Amino acid sequence: MVNPVTDTKTTPTLTLYEFVALMALMTSLVALSIDAMLPALAQIGHALNARDEHEAHLIVSIFFAGMAVGQLFFGPFADARGRRQTILLGLCIFVLGSLICMQAENMETMLIGRLVQAFGVSGPRIAALAVIRDLYVGDAMARVMSFIMMVFILVPMLAPVVGQAVLYFFSWQHIFSLFLVVAVVAGSWFFARQPETLPAGRRKPFSWGQLGRSSKYIVTHMSVMGYTIAMGCIFGAFLAYLSASQTIFQQFYTTGEAFPLIFAILAFSIGLASFFNGTMVMRFGMNKLVHVALYGVIAFGVIFSGVIWLYAGLPPLSITLSIMFCGFFFVGILFGNLNAMAMQPLGEMAGLGAAIIGSFSSMIAVPVALFIDSFLTTTLTPIGFGFLGFFMLAFIAVRIGDKARHDDQA
C-alpha cells in the first residue's frame, strides 16, 4: 500500500532528526574526502614531487572522475542487491583507497588511491540518495534534502580546519586516518539503526538488457537530463573554485592560516541557503525556488565578472568574499532542488537513476572545472567568467527540462 505521506511503498522508521543526521553523515564522506585535503594540497604536492600546482589540484578534481565511474556501478548494484549491501561494499573500497593514499610515495600512486577512494565513496552516496527517494518524493524529498544539506554543509565548513589541525600536530598522511574513522562510525550507525528500504520483492535482478532499457529511459527522459545537465554546469563552475580555493586565498590573497576560516564563511552561505530552502520549499515548491535562484546566480556571475574586470583581475578580499557569499547562497538553493527534480520521475529506479544523474553531472562538471582552472594564473578572471558562462548554460538546460516536464504532464 502506498504511504499517503511519502507516496512510496516504504515507511520511514527513524525520526526525521535522526534520519537527516545519519544521511548527512553518510553523504558527508564525499565532502570530507575533498575539503579536508585542501589545506594539504601544496604540502602533498611538494612531498610527492608534483610538477606544478595544477597537478596538485588534480587530487581534488580526479576524485569526481572516480565518482562518475563508481556511481554507474553502484546504481544498478543498489537496485539489485539492496541499499545496505551497497553501503558495505562501498565503504570497504573507500577504506582500501584511503590506505593506498596513506602509503603513496609519488603523485601517480596518490591519484590512483584517490580514484579508488572516489569509486568506493560512490556506494554510500548512491545508497543514501536511493534511501531518501525510497521514503520521500517531490517537495517532501526536496525538504529532506535541504535539511540534510544544512547538516552536511558543516563538513566543508569544518573539514579544512580539521585538515589544518592534522597538519599542525601530525602529517598529511593522517588526514586519511581521519577518513577511516569517519567511515567506520558512519557504517556502524547505519547498520545499527536504518533497516533496508528496498525489500527483496522490489529489487531488480541485474541484467545487461534491463540495464540498457532502464538507462535508455533515463537518458532519453528530457526533464531528467535537462536538470542533470544544469547540475553539471553549476557544479562544474563551483568545482573550479573549490579545486583552486587554496591557491586563490593562500597565494593570490596571502591569507595564510586564515584560509580555513575564509572557506568556512563561504561554505556557511550554502548551509544558510539549505536551511532557507528546507523551510520554504513546502510553501513555494522547488520549481519556483529553482527559477528564483537561477536568476540570482546569473546576477552573481554578471556582478562578480564586472567587479573582477574593474579591479584588473583581483578585487580586494572583502569585496570578493561579500559577492561570493551572496552568490553561493543561490547556488546552495539549486543543489538539493535540482537533484530532487531530476530524481522525481524515476520511482523504484532510484538507485540507477541516482547513479546516472550523479555520474552524468560529474562527467560534465570535471571537464568544466579543469577547463576553467587551466586559465587560472594570477587573477580571478577565469573563475568569474566561468561562473557567468556556465550558470547561463544551466539556465537554458533547466528551461529545456521544464518544457519536457510540462509536455509529459499534458
Does any domain span residue 204?
no
Q: What is the mean pLDDT of the chain?
A: 86
Predicted local confidence at residue 4, as pLDDT: 34
98-142 pLDDT, tens digit per residue, is 999 999 999 999 999 999 999 999 999 888 888 887 887 766 776
Predicted local confidence at residue 42, as pLDDT: 84
Does any domain span residue 308?
yes
273-299 pLDDT, tens digit per residue, is 877 887 787 788 888 999 999 999 999
40-66 pLDDT, tens digit per residue, is 888 898 899 877 777 888 898 889 889
Predicted local confidence at residue 153, as pLDDT: 63
**DSSP string spanning 231-289?**
HHHHHHHHHHHHHHHHHIIIIIS--GGGHHHHHHHHHHHHHHHHHHHHHHHHHH-HHHH
398-409 pLDDT, tens digit per residue, is 999 999 888 877
Does any domain span residue 291?
yes
Predicted local confidence at residue 3, as pLDDT: 41
Cα 141 to chain centroid, rounded: 17
Quick check: 6 pLDDT over 60? no
DSSP symbol at 227 = H
Does any domain span residue 75?
yes
Residue 206's region, left for phi above 0, alpha for psi from -120 to 50, else beta, is beta
pTM for the whole thing?
A: 0.75
User: Looking at residue 230, which CATH number applies to its domain?
Assistant: 1.20.1250.20
Give the chain's domain count: 1
Q: Are 64 and 246 in contact (CB under 8 A)?
A: no
Q: What percent of the chain has pLDDT over 90?
A: 38
Predicted local confidence at residue 392, as pLDDT: 97
Range of the domain at 79: 16-194+218-409
Nearby residues of 260 by Cβ (< 8 Å), 6 or more positions away: 39, 160, 161, 163, 164
349-360 pLDDT, tens digit per residue, is 666 777 788 788
Confidence of residue 253 (pLDDT cuts 50, 70, 90): very high
Q: Is the torsion defined by CA of 227, 229, 234, 235 positive or negative?
A: positive
Q: Which three cell numbers stand for residue 103?
A: 602509503
Does any domain span residue 389?
yes
Q: Degrees (nearest 5) of the Cα angle 241, 356, 287?
A: 70
